[in-house]
A = this chain, B = another copy of it.
Amino acid sequence: MTVSPFAPRGTKQDVEEGASFAPKFDRDGLIVCVTTEKASGDILMVAYMNEEALRLTLETGVAHYWSRSRNALWRKGDTSGQVQSVVEMRTDCDQDAIELIVEAGGDGKACHTGRRSCFYRKVERAANGSTKLAFTE
């Protein structure tokens, strides 16, 4: 019999210092996930998971997300081939965020724009307070 991977939320002490995985989903049933690339350490993307996506990610070792724009479960790489193999999953102090450390499959381009990372622009600020984005990829 398969056991639920999620524990109920306990006290602040339990959540922060305990060994039970009790992720906190927001009022839309989602938790934010930062996905980093094992080889480079770079952030590839920020996405969201619902309970099912998180459970499937744990079960299969392959990153699943919840697409807020398509309102659908999304196994990363199903259409693009860029399957993400999970090397390690982490959670933060209050367990309302997930970090996935992955090996990126396919051509390694995690971003739908065809880039390796979604964070391909840096914000530059001029002396007068205006900003512009500079491309890094």
Chain A residues within CB distance 8 Å of chain B? 1-7, 16-21, 32, 34, 36, 41-43, 45-46, 58-59, 88-93, 97, 99, 111-113, 115, 118-123, 125, 128-134, 136
Contact = CB atoms under 8 A, between A and B. Distances in A.
A109 to B, nearest CB: 12
A113 B4 CA distance: 28
B17 A128 contact: no
A36 B41 CA distance: 10
Contacts of A119: 90-92, 97, 99
A92 B45 contact: yes
A46 B34 contact: yes
A93 B122 contact: no
